[in-house]
């Protein structure tokens, strides 16, 4: 059952060891690159709702947090519902945490939802319900790191700053440094290098354009260089798209881990709450799944299909219920399970 996959790629020198990484960029090349990115963005960017003029700084901050490690297409519907429900920071601040977690749905990393609510409270109480515009103040908010602070500074407040997400870093690494992959982490040096590349005007189109290019054209796996506006200047393409050795990176284990079970528990809680909101009475079972009475087993079988399957998923992962009990206690103490523990099967 447990594949503690510690699969490891051959150990080779990480990208950061390449001596010629992040070279100075010729002014002419930079100017043409900037023009190409901005022009391409204006012509080909997706019309995402948080890019419209009606988007508030708060809605942009929400979208950035939701997009942390989560593809944009998955964020879209949840963001729409979220902003309709809690248009201002103070609205989210006043919401029950259980509702916040339910609205987060299956975006993943649910602690981001709790941190976002903490951030909403901080903005409401400390900043007059409006998103701060200094990167330092933003960076002090829970769940707001270097990327998110820069993104809000650029996209919500129009200030000139380098927004370094995985897309921007990949596009810059390839087109201007000839590297297939970005360095593993953002060094002071890379940040300074990238900041010097931001044009004096059109910062938003530069930052958003690089992100869009990385998401749609200059993708990690199979870039579409034939339709890239930077193809003429791209150092990596000119070199024949050399495969660059990547740093050895072990993939995280999943099957059999607490993390997997925790995810199943959270799904179970979501499904049960959804069923309750639909008016379906979700019966509370207080015995471990292994010790159900006939009546309880019958009640379990009668649960709505999504709830039933969610319960069975938890059961399959932890038939004895001991890990479930421990993890639910952890989730409750972390604020991640709020009120919804009622639908679970806690040994007692």
User: What amino acid positions are annotated as catalytic residues?
Assistant: 64
- Smallest distance, DNA to C-beta of residue 42, A: 15
* Residue placing its CB nearer to DNA in the complex, 289 or 327: 327
Residue 222 is a binding residue for DNA (CB under 7 A)? yes
Q: How far apart are CA 39 and CA 251, in angstroms?
A: 38
CA 321 from centroid of its chain's CA atoms: 30
Cα-based distances in Å from 279 to 47, 272, 303, 304: 37, 11, 12, 11
Q: Near DNA by CB under 7 A, which window of 29-37, 198-206, 262-270, 280-288? A: 262-270
Q: Which of 135, 202, 205, 212 binds DNA (CB under 7 A)?
A: 212
Radius of gyration, alpha carbons of the chain: 24
Q: Which CB, 32 or 108, lies closer to DNA?
A: 108
Chain CA centroid to CA 320, Å? 33
Q: How far apart are CA 202 and CA 41, in angstroms?
A: 11
91, 56 in Cβ contact below 8 A? no
> How does DSSP assign 292-347, residue by residue?
--HHHHHHHHTS-HHHHHHHHHHHHH-TTSHHHHHHHHHHHHTTSSTTGGGGS---
How many residues interact with DNA (rule CB under 7 A)? 59
- Output 255 or 297, the one with its CB closest to DNA: 255
Provide the terminal-to-terminal Cα distance of the chain, rounded to the nearest Å.
Answer: 27
Q: Which stretch binds DNA (CB under 7 A): 81-89, 195-203, 261-269, 337-345?
A: 261-269
Task: Kindly state whether residue 106 participates in binding DNA, applying the rule CB under 7 A.
Answer: yes
Q: Which is nearer to DNA, 203 or 262 (CB)?
A: 262
Q: Does 341 bind DNA (CB under 7 A)?
A: no
Binding region for DNA (CB under 7 A): 3, 5, 7, 9, 48, 50-51, 63-64, 67-72, 74, 106-111, 115, 142-149, 151, 165-167, 170, 184-185, 187, 208, 211-212, 214-215, 219-222, 250-252, 257-259, 262-264, 266-267
């Amino acid at each position: 059952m447990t594949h503690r996959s510690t699969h490891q790629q051959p150990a080779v020198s990480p990208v950061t060891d390449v001596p010629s990484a992040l070279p100075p960029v010729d002014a002419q090349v930079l100017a043409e690159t900037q023009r190409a990115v901005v022009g391409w963005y204006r012509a080909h960017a997706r019309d995402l709702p948080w890019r419209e003029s009606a988007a508030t700084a708060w809605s942009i901050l929400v979208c950035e947090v939701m997009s942390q490690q989560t593809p944009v297409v998955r964020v879209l519907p949840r963001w729409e519902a979220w902003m309709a429900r809690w248009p201002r920071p103070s609205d989210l601040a006043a919401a029950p945490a259980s509702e916040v977690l339910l609205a987060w749905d299956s975006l993943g990393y649910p602690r981001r939802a709790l941190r976002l609510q903490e951030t909403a409270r901080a903005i409401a109480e400390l900043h007059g319900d409006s998103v701060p515009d200094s990167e330092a103040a933003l960076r002090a908010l829970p769940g707001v790191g270097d990327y998110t602070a820069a993104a809000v500074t650029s996209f919500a407040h129009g200030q000139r700053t380098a927004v370094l997400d995985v897309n921007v870093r990949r596009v810059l690494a390839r087109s201007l440094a000839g590297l297939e992959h970005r360095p593993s982490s953002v060094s002071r040096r890379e940040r300074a290098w990238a900041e010097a590349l931001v044009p004096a005007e059109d910062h938003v189109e530069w930052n958003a354009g690089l992100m869009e290019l990385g998401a749609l054209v200059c993708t990690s796996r199979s870039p579409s260089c034939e339709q890239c506006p930077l193809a003429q200047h791209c150092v990596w393409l000119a070199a024949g798209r050399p495969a660059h050795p990547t740093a050895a990176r072990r993939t995280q284990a999943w099957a059999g881990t607490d993390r997997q079970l925790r995810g199943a528990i959270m799904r179970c809680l979501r499904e049960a709450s959804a069923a309750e909101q639909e008016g379906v009475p979700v019966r509370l079972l207080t015995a471990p799944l292994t010790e159900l009475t006939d009546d309880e087993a019958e009640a379990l079988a009668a649960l709505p299909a999504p709830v039933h399957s969610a319960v069975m998923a938890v059961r399959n992962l932890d038939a004895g219920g001991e890990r479930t009990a421990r993890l639910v206690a952890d989730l409750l103490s972390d604020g991640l399970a709020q009120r919804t523990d009622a639908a679970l099967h806690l040994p007692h």
